[in-house]
Amino acid sequence: MVVSNRVPADADNPGGLAVALKDALSGRESLWFGWSGDISADTETVRTVTRGQAAFAVTDLTQEEHDGYYAGYSNRALWPAFHYRLDLSEFEESDFRAYMAVNARFARQIAELLRPDDIIWIHDYHLIPLAEALRALGVTNAIGFFSHIPFPPPELFQAIPQHRELAAGLMACNLVGFQSRRDRANFERYMIEKANGIWMPDGRVGAFGSISRAMAFPIAIEVDSFAETARAGAQMDTARRMMAAARGHAIILGVDRMDYSKGLPERLGAIGELFARHPELCGHATLLQIAPVSRGGVEAYAHLREEIEGLVGHINGEYAQIDWAPIHFMAQGLPREELAGLLRLARVGLVTPLRDGMNLVAKEYVAAQDPDDPGVLVLSEFAGAAEQLTGALIVNPHDMREQAESIRRALEMDLTERRERHAAMMEVLHQYDSAWWCASFLDALEKSREGGESDGLRTAFGGDGSGGGSGASMHSAAAGRLTA
Ligand code: GDG
């Protein structure tokens, strides 16, 4: 049972998570539960959709649920706080209540669909309290949680008014997975230092009356298929037009959802710095920044767009020549294949978030390159990907001078060094691909329940771990309520 906020039941737009989970879901019976993406007053109906081998169970949100649970607590409170931006977090008590209520409702609906030996894999910050809500209903199945976004240091996490409720929610899982070692260490430090937690001899942590294991599983891509997509994309019209417009200039490419975690103002500042420090590069390199607008309804994002557009205008005004401009900015996205083609043709991939769980664009850029003549990745040390992609030029995105100098170095790097760095990164991407990611998470989750229920459950229920409730009867009771 996979649970995520949005469910990729739409065949045309499967999304990154669906790609990453493909291996987990093929060859096993699975059901993917979550929000349909629709708003309606009907919170009772769970619709099932089957596409090939994959089965989905989706439910709508009411307008109030959407505003409080999704736009409110998830995106106005947790997203900024988990990206170390407490200054942008808005902690509204009513949003938190909506967040808890939607998690409790999802738990009820999931419990009715569960079979006794199902394992449950919950994704992301929208659903932190879900495992505890399931346990409260008597669900004893193995539950794993994967956090796609960073986990902040304990001092920051502790500043979230509801940090105890959130932490208890995570501890109700048998396994909590993070993108990086840094996130895992932050979580464990919080439990030990701020929540009177204890280390178990087997490396698990005990806190909030439960025992849970934290591990790092860096999310990955399907390397060979992405490389193939990029090869095909580089032959498409969009790629040809980009190269024709560049007229031999090197393309420095950035691809990011327009989000304040992605370091876009700092990146634009670094481009200004690059041309100020190296006027000889004017007319010879261009930043193509693709930044599709996301979460338009949240105020912080509207401000960000204004800031970015102001900076683009300012830097272009400062450095443009009659037939060349330093920055080409697009606030619309492109189809995946076209985007992959542009990644392949860019001389420099610029991935400079201020904070990012992983950052798949960094991995996609590497996979998209021509191994005989690869481009150079400039990567923020604050992206989870920096723990793996050590062949990149690693930068502090707040240091615009360093960022500018790294871009210059990337533009001038000789072929031998480019090949060496690229080959080293491809080795990592091949070894830790999306099949590895799924298999290692699911193996760890399955192990967590070997030998019966985990100690965590026994502790949580203060008894034999059965927790009452029978999965089998819940499942059959559910069948009648599903509408195909
Ligand atoms: C969260 C975490 C973590 C972007 N623009 C277009 C487009 N994209 C695709 C990229 C990439 C995906 O969207 C973005 O993934 P990221 O990982 O870079 O970032 P988030 O969206 O913030 O994702 C992140 C991820 O979850 C997975 O765990 O890595 O840290 O924040 O695949 O290529 N795709 C298309 N057109 C675009 O214009 N088709």
What would the pLDDT profile of 339-359 be if each residue is shown by its tens digit? 999 999 999 999 999 999 999
Q: For position 7, what pLDDT does the model report?
A: 87
What pLDDT sits at residue 24?
67
Active site includes 148?
yes
Determine whether the shortest distance from the Cβ of 222 to ligand 1 is under 6 A.
no
Centroid of ligand 1 to alpha carbon of 48 (angstroms):
27
Which atom in ligand 1 lies closest to the alpha carbon of residue 336? 39
The alpha carbon of 254 and the centre of ligand 1 are apart by a number of angstroms equal to 12
User: What pLDDT is recorded for position 467?
Assistant: 30
The pLDDT value given to residue 450 = 63
Greatest extent of the chain over all pairs of C-alpha atoms, in Å: 77
Segments of the chain with pLDDT less than 70: 9-16, 23-24, 296-297, 450-484
Question: What is the three-class DSSP state of 121?
Answer: strand
CA dihedral 343, 344, 346, 350 (to 10 degrees): 40
Other beta carbons less than 10 A from residue 398's beta carbon: 15
334 lines ligand 1 (CB under 6 A): yes
- Residue 64's pLDDT is 98
- Of 148, 163, 183, 433, which one is the catalytic site residue? 148
Distance from residue 15's CA to the centre of ligand 1 (Å): 9
Amino acid at 346: A
Query: 464 CA distance to ligand 1 centroid (A)?
Result: 43
> Tell me, what's the pLDDT at 16?
67
Any atom of ligand 1 within 6 Å of the Cβ of 339 = yes
The reply to whether ligand 1 has any atom less than 6 angstroms from the CB of 356 is: yes
Token pair, residue 382, equals 């604050």
**362 CA → ligand 1 middle, Å:** 10
Q: Report whether 476 contacts 61 (CB < 8 A).
A: no
Give the integer Cα–Cα distance in Å for 102 and 12: 27
6 CB within 6 A, ligand 1: no
Pocket lining: 357 vs ligand 1, CB cutoff 6 Å:
yes
The verdict on the CB of residue 456 being under 6 Å from ligand 1 is no
Contacts for 34-40 with beta carbons within 8 Å, 24 or more apart? 34/3, 34/4, 34/5, 34/6, 34/7, 34/58, 34/59, 34/106, 35/5, 35/6, 35/7, 35/59, 35/60, 35/61, 35/70, 36/7, 36/9, 36/60, 37/6, 37/7, 37/10, 39/63, 39/66
Give 175-197 pLDDT, tens digit per residue. Answer: 999 999 999 999 999 999 999 99
Q: Please indicate whether residue 356 is annotated as part of the active site.
A: yes
Question: What token pair was written down for 56?
Answer: 């989905």
- Domains defined for the chain, CATH in brackets: 2-219+435-476 (3.40.50.2000), 223-431 (3.40.50.2000)
Tell me, in angstroms, the distance from the centre of ligand 1 to residue 20's CA: 12
C-alpha torsion angle, residues 45, 50, 56, 60 (rounded to 10)? -40
- 149 in ligand 1 pocket by Cβ < 6 Å? yes
Hey, which of 2, 6, 226, 257 would you mutate to test ligand 1's pocket, going by the most ligand atoms within 8 Å of its Cβ?
Answer: 257
Question: Which of 4, 351, 361, 365 to mutate to test ligand 1, by most ligand atoms within 8 A of the CB atom?
Answer: 361
**Residue 21 pLDDT:** 79
Candidate of 19, 78, 360, 382 to mutate for ligand 1, largest count of ligand atoms within 8 Å of Cβ: 360
Of the residues 60, 356, 433, 455, only one is catalytic, namely 356
Which ligand 1 atom sits closest to the C-alpha of 17? Answer: 27
At residue 189, the 3 state secondary structure works out as helix
- Which residue, by CA, sits nearest to atom 38 of ligand 1? 333
Return the amino acid letter for 224: D
Query: The dihedral of CA 38, 332, 295, 184: what is its sign?
Result: positive
